[in-house]
Structure 1
Amino acid sequence: MTGTLPTLWGVTPDETTRRYPCDELLPDPRATWFRGIDVAAPAPVVHRWLCQLRVAPYSYDLLDNLGRRSPRTLTPGVDELAPGQTVMTLFELVSFARAGHLTIRLRGGPGRRVLGDFVLTYDVRETAPGRSRLVVKVLLGGGGGPVARLRRKTLAWGDLLMMRKQLRTLRDLAERTPSDVDPG
């Protein structure tokens, strides 16, 4: 795995050059970040845990979930996806593919005014029987001035900290889920 912190973490060169669904939503981003992790669970199980992002962020709950613990069991029905659904409170689901990806975009309003356009694809691919790769591509829009550049640089470090925790938590939960569970 290669990486140049804070823009790359846990990804291969091949993963940074392929196309992701978020590329269609923000074709000329001001910043691009990648995060990736190996998971000892089948892609459908990993994807089912990604659907849980509709319920909670699975990162540092004290900071980004108002102190509430992200559920440690699968929530029935959250895998019934439809564009426009809320994901992690601030995002909306744009597109998805079963056992493939979730693509989300920061909702309009104060969040987008502060952060700029923010689009992510969580991509799951089976690498071997019972094993997967989870890669997230993050695209940011926004202005090009010095304040916007400083904001993006600061956000990159914050995102790395939060996303690394999120991906590790989702990995651990997927690896504890029996592979015969109905992933949805």
Structure 2
Amino acid sequence: MSEQRTCRQRPGARLLPLFAASAALALYTLRYRPRLLTWGATPDETTRAYPGDELVPEADGTSTMATTLPAPPEEVWPWLVQMGGDRAGWYSWDRLDHYGEPSADRIAPEWQNLEEGQRLRAARDGQSWFTVARLEPNRTLVLRSDLSLPSGHSFDPQWDPLPTARIDGIWSFHLRPTPEGGTRLVVRTRGHGRPRPLTRPFDLLLWEPVHFIMQARQFRNLRTRVGAQA
């Protein structure tokens, strides 16, 4: 009799992990994901348009995160303009995005020259990079990334044939002075992936959480560096 009861319970027991996973995914999607995508930003900052948004007009993924730094924009800008894998680093988790080498803790004059169209290396082998798409000193820096999948190598959409599977996106930095003499730094991402059935799960389960972790770390490290300089 007990064996029959056990057999009858098995189908339901097998569904429990599926129900638990579905509930966890729903909780993350409805409650936590919106907070991660707008971490630190005000409603006005998340809804307004910024330079560079037009580069990805049909974005199927976006985030707007923000922080306040203890120095005016003209003192924050030199830290941003020297970013790059072969330059000052990205001020985030260096083991993940700077080959384990520490990001710069000083402003280096040799890295202060930046211009639109310039490439900033994102991988040690030079196969992945960001392109400077918009540049307005002390105000706006827009980096563009076009990646083929699954290699993750960059391509130039102006000259190279478009890969069947790809992700196009921007990573933009917008600086505004605060009344207290600091800087409001708003960071926006916009992405467009194809084919969507492939890139959507990647965005939801990997890219968005990783971006939150990396961006929050960058905010923290920038605040430390800018504060020490100030």
| TM-score bracket relative to the smaller structure | 0.7 to 0.9
Aligned position for 2:44: 14
Aligned position for 2:11: none
Whole-angstrom CA distance in 1 between matches of 2:168 and 2:201: 16
Q: Alpha-carbon deviation of 1:42?
A: 0.7
Correspondence for 1:147 among 194, 198, 201: 198
Correspondence for 1:83 among 108, 116, 119: 116
Residues 37-69 of structure 1, C-alpha deviation per residue, up to 9 Å, x if partnerless?
A: 111111111111111213211111111111101
Residues 89-145 of structure 1, C-alpha deviation per residue, up to 9 Å, x if partnerless?
A: 221111111110110001455345676002121001001242111010100101253
Whole-angstrom CA distance in 2 between matches of 1:24 and 1:52: 24
Aligned position for 1:116: 167
Whole-angstrom CA distance in 1 between matches of 2:219 and 2:119: 19
Aligned position for 1:106: 145
Stretch of structure 1 that moved more, 113-122 or 153-162: 113-122
Contact 1:35 1:135 in 2 (8 A): yes
Contact 1:30 1:144 in 2 (8 A): no
SS in 1 for 2:178: strand
Whole-angstrom CA distance in 2 between matches of 1:5 and 1:92: 28
Larger radius of gyration: 2
Two-structure CA RMSD over aligned residues (Å): 1.9
Letter in 1 for 2:95: L
Aligned position for 2:228: 176
Aligned position for 2:66: 36
Whole-angstrom CA distance in 2 between matches of 1:115 and 1:130: 42
SS in 2 for 1:116: strand
Provide the TM-score with structure 2 as the length reference: 0.71
Contact 2:117 2:133 in 1 (8 A): yes
Q: Runs in 1 of length 4+ with deviation above 6 angstroms?
A: none
SS in 2 for 1:53: coil
Letter in 2 for 1:148: T
Aligned position for 1:182: none
Residue 136 of structure 2 corresponds to residue 97 of structure 1: yes
Letter in 1 for 2:139: G
Contact 2:166 2:194 in 1 (8 A): no
Contact 1:39 1:131 in 2 (8 A): yes
- Gaps (5+ residues) in structure 1? 179-184
- Gaps (5+ residues) in structure 2? 1-32, 123-128, 155-162
Letter in 1 for 2:134: S
Percent identical among aligned pairs is 30
Whole-angstrom CA distance in 1 between matches of 2:53 and 2:64: 13
Aligned position for 1:66: 99
Stretch of structure 1 that moved more, 139-148 or 105-114: 105-114
Aligned position for 1:135: 186
Aligned position for 1:164: 216
Residues 160-182 of structure 1, C-alpha deviation per residue, up to 9 Å, x if partnerless?
A: 0011101211121112113xxxx
Whole-angstrom CA distance in 1 between matches of 2:176 and 2:90: 21
